[in-house]
């Protein structure tokens, strides 16, 4: 299809599509003349993925890394997850105390070497932020976090499609980042439901 048709199909304007092409987020179409190119279903699908990532607040640079991971998948789903996480986890060169993070994640079944250091650093950074704000997760709440999140991750990993590497890549990369807003929004609803039941509804 022509770029105008790709635009009509996906609801993304032609200038925006051209911007994604320039930024290397969307692969070039097949040249049919020096000034025209033709695009396929894969472009329409990729456009939807790009929009979803950018709408979720992922930066253009991170989106490019996610797209690279989709285009160059490692052979093993476990390595794939590391690649996906590396793409979407801010690295940062801040000084972090990893010891507390490592102790915490043993509660998830973690053992040394079991996950990428970027992801461990993200835990350390989150703990650091809480400490700076003087906020302590109550001692009886933390084990519930660890237990519930391990259950979530087990269900997600069990759900990785085994039929094709393409399907597995898309599931792992998109599932890691796009599901986050859903989980956070569900948590807020659940907090209000639980609080309503505990403290009584108003009105």
Which 126-145 positions form the footprint of a copy of itself (CB under 8 A)? 126-127, 129-130, 132-135, 137-138, 140-141, 144-145
| Residue 46: closest CA among 70, 62, 65 | 70
| Residue 62 engages a copy of itself in binding (rule: CB under 8 A) | no
Local structure of 37: helix, strand or coil: strand
Asked if residue 63 binds a copy of itself (CB under 8 A), the reply is no
27 vs 77, beta carbon nearer a copy of itself: 77
Q: Residue from 2, 82, 166, 169 that binds a copy of itself (CB under 8 A)?
A: 82
Interface residue with a copy of itself among 72, 158, 163, 164 (CB under 8 A) is 158
Strand 30-33 and strand 36-38: the pairing is antiparallel
| Whether 86 contacts 116, CB under 8 Å | yes
Helix H segments across 35-97?
41-55, 60-71, 77-88
> Among candidates 108, 190, 102, which has minimal Cα distance to 142?
108
- Residue 37 or 115: the one with the smaller Cβ distance to a copy of itself is 115
**3-state SS assignment for residue 32:** strand
* Coil/strand/helix, residue 36: strand
Nearest-angstrom CA–CA distance, 94 and 197? 42
* Nearest CB to a copy of itself, comparing residues 2 and 150: 150
The smaller minimum CB distance to a copy of itself, of residues 34 and 134, is found at: 134
181 binds a copy of itself (CB under 8 A): yes
Query: Is 152 among the residues that bind a copy of itself (CB under 8 A)?
Result: yes
CB of 185 to a copy of itself, least distance (A): 4
Q: Choose the binding region for a copy of itself from 22-30, 33-41, 58-66, 193-201 (rule: CB under 8 A).
A: 193-201
Residue 177 · residue 53 · CB < 8 Å: yes
Give CA–CA dist 84/33, Å, rounded. 36
Q: Which residues ranging from 6 to 45 are in contact with a copy of itself (CB under 8 A)?
A: 45
Closer by beta carbon to a copy of itself, 31 or else 98: 98
């Amino acid at each position: 299809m022509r770029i105008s048709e790709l635009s009509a199909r996906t609801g993304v304007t032609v200038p925006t599509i051209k911007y994604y092409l320039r930024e290397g987020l969307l692969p070039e179409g097949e040249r049919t003349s020096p000034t025209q190119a033709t695009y396929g279903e894969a472009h329409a699908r990729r456009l939807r993925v790009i929009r979803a990532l950018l709408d979720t607040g992922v930066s253009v640079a991170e989106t490019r890394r996610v797209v690279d991971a989709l285009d160059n998948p490692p052979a093993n789903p476990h390595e794939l997850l590391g690649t996906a996480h590396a793409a979407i986890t801010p690295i940062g060169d801040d000084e972090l105390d990893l010891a507390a993070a490592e102790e915490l994640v043993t509660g998830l079944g973690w053992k040394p070497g079991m996950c990428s250091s970027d992801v461990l650093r993200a835990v350390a950074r989150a703990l650091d932020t809480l400490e700076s704000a003087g906020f302590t997760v109550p001692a009886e709440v933390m084990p519930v976090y660890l237990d519930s999140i391990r259950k979530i991750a087990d269900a997600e990993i069990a759900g990785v499609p085994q039929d094709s590497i393409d399907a597995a890549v898309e599931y792992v990369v998109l599932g890691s980042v796009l599901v986050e807003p859903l989980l956070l929004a569900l948590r807020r609803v659940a907090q209000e439901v639980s609080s309503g039941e505990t403290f009584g509804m108003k009105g």
